[in-house]
């Protein structure tokens, strides 16, 4: 039994190579310190070592030269976390996204779009090993039988400027030429609404409009393309919610990191090796309705869960929210109609449910590294179809004054 447990611990540390096997067989003296520390920690049953534990093991090795103790301890900490050589780039607080291509190239987004960080940093085999190690540390399976992995890594190396990393990896095949890795840096309450407004996301009167939407418990959909800041804006809005109100968050992959005190998070689960035990978004949305939520937040609406979300929006869970990929506020109507069709809803039903349940669409755009709230719209039903009435379109639109008055705001700016 002990040998089985030990093998499992070694697997968590990614033991695959002949070097590791040699260390396990007692030939450790000539091996790299990382391998020797991995083995010693495994023998102790330690799967998530603190830096002090790594230092203790290094200094206990009989022939170890302590002249390189600090550098070795940092490197081993990074390797055991699964992040490895990606750590240095992730120490930059400007990095929001990072990808490793099958060629071994590393690209980073520091707010101005993707730029090359390192050319052929990894071999094809190293990219695969890195992906498998990251998935393993996330508690997710990644192998030839299941070549995709999504996960959240919260035990990060020292110095990483994030509270968590969202990991996605695809092995080859189906990825052509090698493994692909995508990493998103997640930060808890990185921006308040006021800070976002000061940074240029929206004018002051729009920030007051959004604050009033939260206070008056309006249901909102935050829309936009990839990397436009949907999650950031949604987090800043939810941080304004009274702590006495219970928020239940439903996500496919953990990404929304709220500092709200009265919070429950539900995350989907993949099937096990026997094809059982999976929990999808639709099931989670149904379950959260029974959890006495005041507000329900769906990380991203992308399928049949739209039906249950609209039930929540229309049955007393005012102030709920979600995100949706869309190219413009006007395109949201078509996206919602398509999602409703996936859920088996008729066009008339989805139009009525959306117009009754969704108060505002907040659409974000990004260009040349700048993100801004470009449009605010409200959805209405007409003849069994959805339409969008513009409230804000890079400035006050037709319904701006009316909506401000409904929220109890003094009208600042009016439609030209």
R_g (Cα) of the chain, nearest Å: 24
What is the DSSP-derived secondary structure letter of residue 68? G
- Which residue reads 């299941």 in tokens? 146
- State the Cα–Cα distance between residues 247 and 374, nearest whole angstrom: 27
* Percent of the chain whose pLDDT exceeds 90: 45
- Of 30 and 255, the structure prediction assigns the larger pLDDT to 255
User: Alpha helix (H) ranges present in 168-298?
Assistant: 193-198, 204-215, 230-238, 281-288
- Report how far apart the first and last C-alpha atoms of the chain are (Å, whole number): 76
Instruction: Report whether 183 contacts 162 (CB < 8 A).
Output: no
The pLDDT of residue 147 is 94
Q: Where in the chain is the domain with CATH 3.30.450.90?
A: 84-186
90 with 185: CB under 8 angstroms?
yes
pLDDT at 17: 40
Mean of pLDDT values over 2-27: 42
The secondary element (H helix, E strand) that includes residue 297 is strand 295-298
Buried b (16+ CB within 10 A) or exposed e, 304-341: bbbbbbbbbbbeebbbbbbbbbbebbbbbbebbbebbe
The rounded distance, in Å, linking the Cα atoms of 271 and 304 is: 18
Residue 406 clears pLDDT 90, i.e. is over it: yes
Q: What is the largest CA-CA distance in the chain?
A: 81
- Alpha helices, H only, 154-252: 193-198, 204-215, 230-238
User: Domain 193-406 belongs to what topology?
Assistant: Rossmann fold (3.40.50)
CATH topology of domain 84-186: Beta-Lactamase (3.30.450)
Enter the DSSP assignment of 219: -
How far are the Cα atoms of 44, 186, 325 from residue 322, in angstroms, in the given order? Answer: 45, 18, 10
Residue-wise pLDDT for 297-331, tens only, equals 988 888 888 887 788 788 778 999 999 999 999 99
Sign for the CA dihedral angle at 279, 281, 284, 286 comes to negative
pLDDT at 29 over 80: no
- How many Cβ atoms sit within 10 Å of the Cβ of residue 150? 19
- Answer whether residue 126 shows pLDDT above 60: yes
CA distance 217 to 235: 15
Residues of the chain with CATH 3.40.50.300: 193-406
Residues 325-354: tens digit of each pLDDT: 999 999 999 999 998 888 888 889 989 999
- pLDDT bracket for residue 1 (50, 70, 90): very low
pLDDT at 414: 56
Percent of the chain with pLDDT over 70: 91
Confidence of residue 65 (pLDDT cuts 50, 70, 90): confident
Classify 208 as helix, strand or coil.
helix
372, two tokens: 């801004």
What would the pLDDT profile of 141-161 be if each residue is shown by its tens digit?
899 988 999 888 888 888 888
Q: Categorize the per-residue pLDDT at 193 as very low, low, confident or very high, splitting at 50, 70 and 90.
A: very high
Name 379's Cβ contacts closer than 8 Å, sequence gap at least 6: 332, 333, 336, 354, 355, 358, 361, 386, 387, 388, 389
Of the listed ranges 31-40, 102-111, 282-291, 335-344, the one predicted with least confidence:
31-40
In this predicted model, which residue has the larger pLDDT, 269 or 413?
269
pLDDT above 50: residue 27? no
pLDDT of res. 367? 86
Q: Strand 97-100 and strand 180-186: pairing?
A: antiparallel
CA distances from 246 to 80, 217, 232, 281, 317 (A): 37, 13, 20, 20, 10
Q: Give the whole-angstrom CA distance, residue 46 versus residue 198.
A: 46
Which of 285, 269, 264 lies closest to 339 in space, CA to CA? 285
């Amino acid at each position: 039994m002990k040998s089985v447990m030990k093998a499992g611990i070694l697997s968590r540390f990614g033991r695959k190579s002949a070097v590791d096997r040699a260390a396990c067989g007692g030939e450790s003296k000539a091996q790299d310190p990382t391998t020797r520390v991995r083995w010693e920690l495994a023998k102790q049953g330690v799967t998530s070592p603190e830096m002090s534990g790594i230092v203790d093991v290094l200094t206990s090795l009989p022939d170890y030269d302590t002249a390189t103790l600090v550098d070795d301890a940092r490197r081993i900490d990074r390797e055991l976390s699964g992040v490895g050589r990606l750590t240095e780039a992730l120490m930059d607080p400007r990095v929001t996204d990072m990808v490793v291509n099958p060629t071994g190239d590393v690209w980073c987004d520091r707010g101005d779009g993707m730029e090359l960080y390192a050319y052929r940093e990894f071999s094809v085999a190293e990219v695969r090993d890195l992906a498998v190690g990251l998935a393993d540390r996330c508690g997710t399976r990644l192998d030839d039988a299941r070549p995709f992995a999504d996960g959240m890594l919260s035990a990060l190396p020292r110095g990483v400027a994030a509270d968590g990393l969202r990991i996605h990896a695809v092995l080859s095949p189906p990825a052509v030429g090698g493994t692909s890795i995508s990493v998103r840096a997640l930060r808890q309450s990185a921006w308040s609404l006021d800070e976002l407004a000061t940074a240029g996301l929206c004018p002051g009167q729009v920030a007051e409009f959004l604050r009033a939407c939260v206070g008056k418990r309006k249901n909102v959909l935050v829309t936009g393309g990839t990397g436009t800041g949907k999650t950031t804006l949604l987090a800043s809005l939810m941080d304004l919610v009274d702590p006495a109100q219970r928020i239940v968050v439903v996500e496919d992959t953990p990404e929304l990191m709220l500092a709200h005190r009265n919070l429950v998070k539900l995350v989907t689960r993949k099937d096990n090796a026997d094809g059982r035990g999976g929990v999808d978004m639709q099931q989670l949305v149904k379950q959260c309705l029974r959890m006495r939520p005041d507000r329900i937040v769906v990380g991203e609406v992308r399928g049949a869960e739209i039906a249950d979300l609209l039930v929540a929006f229309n049955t007393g869970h005012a102030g709920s929210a979600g995100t949706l990929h869309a190219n413009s506020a006007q395109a949201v109507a078509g996206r919602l109609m398509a999602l409703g069709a996936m859920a088996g809803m008729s066009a008339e039903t989805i139009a009525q449910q959306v117009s009754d349940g969704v108060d505002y669409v907040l659409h974000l755009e990004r260009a040349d590294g700048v993100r801004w709230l470009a449009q605010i719209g409200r959805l209405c039903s007409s003849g069994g179809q959805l339409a969008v009435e513009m409230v804000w379109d890079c400035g006050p639109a037709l319904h701006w004054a009316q909506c401000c008055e409904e929220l109890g705001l003094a009208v600042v700016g009016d439609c030209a």
